[in-house]
Amino acid sequence: MQIPAMANKIYTALPTTIFAVMSGLAREHGAINLGQGFPDEPGPEAIRRRAAEETLHGDNQYPPTFGLPALRESVARHYKRFQGLDLDWQSEITVTSGATEALACAFLALIEPGDEVVIFSPAYDSYAPMVRRAGGVPKFVRLTPPLWRFDRAMLEAAFTSRTRLVVLNSPMNPVATICPDEDLALLAEFCVRHDSTAICDDVWEHIVFETPFQPLIARPGMRERCVKIGSAGKMFALTGWKVGFLIAAPALSASLAKAHQFLTFTTPPNLQNAVAWGLDNSADWFEAMPRALAASRDRLAAALAREGFAVAPSQGTYFLTVDLAQSGVAEDDMAFCLRAVKEAGVAAIPVSAFYESDAVTSIIRLCFAKKDDTLDEGARRLAKARELSLKA
Interaction site with ligand GLN (CB under 6 A): 17, 19, 36-37, 173
**CA 352, 357, 359: angle at the middle one, nearest 5?**
30
The span from the CA of 231 to the CA of 385, in Å, is 34
Site mask, ligand PMP, residues 193-222, x = CB under 6 A?
A: --------x-x-------------------
Residue partners of 78: CB distance under 8 A and separation at least 6:
279, 280
CB–CB of 306/322 below 8 Å?
Answer: no
The span from the CA of 216 to the CA of 373, in Å, is 38
Site for ligand PMP in 85-114 (CB under 6 A): 98-100
Residue nearest to ligand PMP (CB): 98
Residue in 140, 196, 131 with CA at minimum distance from that of residue 163: 196
Interacting residue with ligand PMP among 21, 25, 37, 375 (CB under 6 A): 37
> Measured from the CB of residue 8, what is the shortest distance to ligand PMP in angstroms?
22
CB–CB of 56/270 below 8 Å?
Answer: no
Q: Report if residue 233 touches ligand PMP, rule: CB under 6 A.
A: yes
Residue 170 touches which member of ligand PMP, ligand GLN, none, C-beta under 5-8 Å by kind: none
Number of residues that make up the chain:
392
Residue 19 touches which member of ligand GLN, ligand PMP, none, C-beta under 5-8 Å by kind: ligand GLN
Q: Report if residue 231 touches ligand PMP, rule: CB under 6 A.
A: yes
> Measured from the CB of residue 233, what is the shortest distance to ligand PMP in angstroms?
4
Residue 215 touches which member of ligand PMP, ligand GLN, none, C-beta under 5-8 Å by kind: none
Q: Map 188-216 to HEC letters.
A: HHHHHHCCCEEEEECCCCCCECCCCCCCH
> Measured from the CB of residue 18, what is the shortest distance to ligand PMP in angstroms?
12
Residue nearest to ligand GLN (CB): 37
Count of residues that interact with ligand PMP, criterion CB under 6 A: 14
CB–CB of 96/245 below 8 Å?
Answer: yes
For ligand GLN, the closer of residues 173 and 197 by Cβ is 173
> Measured from the CB of residue 378, what is the shortest distance to ligand GLN in angstroms?
15
For ligand PMP, the closer of residues 249 and 349 by Cβ is 349
Interacting residue with ligand PMP among 169, 197, 314, 374 (CB under 6 A): 169
> Measured from the CB of residue 176, what is the shortest distance to ligand GLN in angstroms?
11
The span from the CA of 148 to the CA of 159, in Å, is 19
Residue in 108, 88, 71, 74 with CA at minimum distance from that of residue 268: 71
The span from the CA of 182 to the CA of 296, in Å, is 29
The span from the CA of 258 to the CA of 134, in Å, is 14
**173, β-bridge pairs:** none
> Measured from the CB of residue 126, what is the shortest distance to ligand PMP in angstroms?
7
Site for ligand PMP in 133-152 (CB under 6 A): none
Return the range that interacts with ligand PMP (CB under 6 A); candidates 6-14, 239-247, 335-343, 353-361: 239-247
Residue 98 touches which member of ligand PMP, ligand GLN, none, C-beta under 5-8 Å by kind: ligand PMP
Q: How many CB atoms lie within 10 A of CB 45?
A: 8
Handedness of CA 47, 51, 53, 59 (dihedral sign): positive
CB–CB of 142/162 below 8 Å?
Answer: no
Q: What is the DSSP letter of 325?
A: G
Q: Report if residue 316 touches ligand PMP, rule: CB under 6 A.
A: no
> Measured from the CB of residue 388, what is the shortest distance to ligand PMP in angstroms?
29
> Measured from the CB of residue 242, what is the shortest distance to ligand GLN in angstroms?
10
Q: What is the DSSP secondary-structure string of 341-364? A: IIIISEE-EEGGGG-SSS---SEE
> Measured from the CB of residue 374, what is the shortest distance to ligand GLN in angstroms?
16
CB–CB of 322/309 below 8 Å?
Answer: yes
Interacting residue with ligand PMP among 35, 136, 244, 278 (CB under 6 A): 244
Residue 272 touches which member of ligand PMP, ligand GLN, none, C-beta under 5-8 Å by kind: none
Binding site for ligand PMP (CB under 6 A): 37, 98-100, 124, 169, 173, 201, 203, 231, 233, 239, 242, 244
